[in-house]
Amino acid sequence: MHYVIDERDPNYYAMLYNGMVVDERYNNLLSSSNGSNSSIGRVNILDSTLREGEQHPGVAFTVKQRVQIAWMLDYFGVDQIEISPVISEDHRQATKMIIDAGLSADIVVHCRAIKQDIDVAIACDAEWVATYMSVSDVQLRSKLKIGREEAYARAMDVVDYIKAHDLKARFTLEDASRAEPEFLSRIARDISNAGIDRISIPDTVGIMLPRGMYRLVNMVKASIDTNKTMLDLHCHNDLGLALANALAGVDAGADQIHTTIDGIGERNGIPALAEVAVILTMLYRCRNDLRLDMLKDLSRLIEQYTGIATPESKPIVGDSAFKHKAGTHLAAVLRDPRAYEIIEPRAVGNRRRIVFGELAGKNGAAFLLSILGLDVDASKAERLAKGLKDLRLGDVLEMYLDDAIEERIKQMNRS
Ligand code: HCA
Ligand code: CU
């Protein structure tokens, strides 16, 4: 999908404030150098539903489900799909089956920064490995029980091993957002020089502010050889900032965001695929080959496989994402949905719905009368609106706006 925009588009000025369109007429009001991103190139998506997603409490997929999810993610159009084979025999089998399926996406095999895990990846015929090692003092102490120098030596050792096997590789500097800057820069520089293709900068504990992520990514970027090594962003959502932090990392020059379907993952998870995909397409306008209309189905699939209900308030894929309720909103939406919708619900596989009840007001009531085939006059509409309020039942009726009804609305608006 390519999101075209011109001045007639109701979203035009928003894009201007976002710095994604440049309009010289407003240069005096809006400094274009300030926060403008209209030149951002392609930003890739790595989906980790099969690895990070399985770390969400209560989630465990079967081998068949993992393969199915990988197929769907690939068809949707993500660039990389991450999975870990070292967890169990089942996971190893799923990893092998997904690699053998020959999908378009790279299959990235996630494993610890130890040779025996790399060997498991090699045995699965992996082309891509992603190895992770903590770099913050607290995790080095509590998890690996080693100091910085030993961590450094381990990292270099494992990178040599990976490169000797001619694998494409990512190195995750786990807990980077709490690591000492000189150590972090040095290790990033040296693994980049040793030939690591990507470095993942995770905010493992979700403690970054967007501006912190921006500075962190800038620092790592300045330390590495950017012709050799690209940067991944893996942001946790402990304070609800994962998505904002990932975008700040993109603004600082990273070119890949990690997502999961519905944002599931360890604790509160990471950014949701749907939100990242729509933002990259629509707001960053930087890619056009994602099948956004699969987003609702992908969310349903995960809901079904995890047994965890997708919150109805979830952006884009939630059942309420395109529901309109307040009378003033209803009246405007029935004339032009763009009054309260920034994207056509069908474009993301969702549906527009309207809710009638005590908030419907005269306009909503008039519309309800017309749908029911009753003639509409002002006093009837007012009586119905009052009746809906007096019922004190809140929302009384909810309906999809299907094609037939939308056609009818158009006719009503014309007459
Ligand atoms: C983990 C760590 C990780 C790794 C991220 C990455 C994190 O859960 O084992 O490989 O990019 O959040 O740091 O998920
Ligand atoms: Cu993580």
Q: Which distant-in-sequence residues (6+ apart) come within 8 Å of 402 by Cβ?
A: none
Alpha helix stretches (DSSP H) within 77-204: 89-100, 115-123, 137-139, 148-164, 181-193
Which pLDDT value is given to residue 327?
Answer: 85
Which pLDDT value is given to residue 311?
Answer: 97
| Centroid of ligand 2 to alpha carbon of 344 (angstroms) | 32
Distance CA 276, CA 76 (A): 13
**Tokens 């979830």 belong to residue:** 314
Which pLDDT value is given to residue 4?
Answer: 60
| Centroid of ligand 1 to alpha carbon of 144 (angstroms) | 15
| Centroid of ligand 2 to alpha carbon of 265 (angstroms) | 7
User: How do the pLDDT tens digits run along the chain, 415 residues long?
Assistant: 455 678 889 999 999 999 888 889 998 998 755 555 666 789 999 999 999 999 999 999 999 999 999 999 999 999 999 999 999 999 999 999 999 999 999 999 999 999 999 999 999 999 999 999 999 999 999 999 999 999 999 999 999 999 999 999 999 999 999 999 999 999 999 999 999 999 999 999 999 999 999 999 999 999 999 999 999 999 999 999 999 999 999 999 999 999 999 999 999 999 999 999 999 999 998 877 999 999 999 999 999 999 999 999 999 999 999 999 888 898 888 889 999 999 999 999 999 999 988 888 888 888 888 878 888 888 999 999 999 999 888 888 888 887 777 777 777 767 6
Which pLDDT value is given to residue 20?
Answer: 87
Q: Which two tokens stand for residue 382?
A: 């007012």
Residue 310 DSSP label: P
Q: Is it true that domain 44-306 has CATH number 3.20.20.70?
A: yes
Distance CA 50, CA 263 (A): 12
- Give the helix, strand, coil percentages of the chain, each rounded to 5: 45, 15, 40
Which residue type, as a one-letter code, is found at position 290?
Answer: L
In the chain, domain spans? 1-39, 44-306, 323-414
Write out the residues surrounding ion ligand 2, Cβ under 5 A: 52
Residue 185: name the closest of 222, 240, 147, 235 by CA. 222
The residue whose CB lies within 8 Å of the most ligand 1 atoms, and thus the one to mutate among 59, 129, 174, is 174
| Centroid of ligand 2 to alpha carbon of 258 (angstroms) | 9
Long-range contacts at 149-152 (CB < 8 A, ≥ 24 apart): 151/187, 152/183, 152/186, 152/187, 152/190
**Which residues approach ligand 1 with their CB closer than 6 A?**
52, 55, 130, 132, 172, 174, 200, 202, 204, 232, 234, 236, 258, 266
Which pLDDT value is given to residue 37?
Answer: 60
Nearest ligand 1 atom to alpha carbon 175: 13
Nearest ligand 1 atom to alpha carbon 270: 12
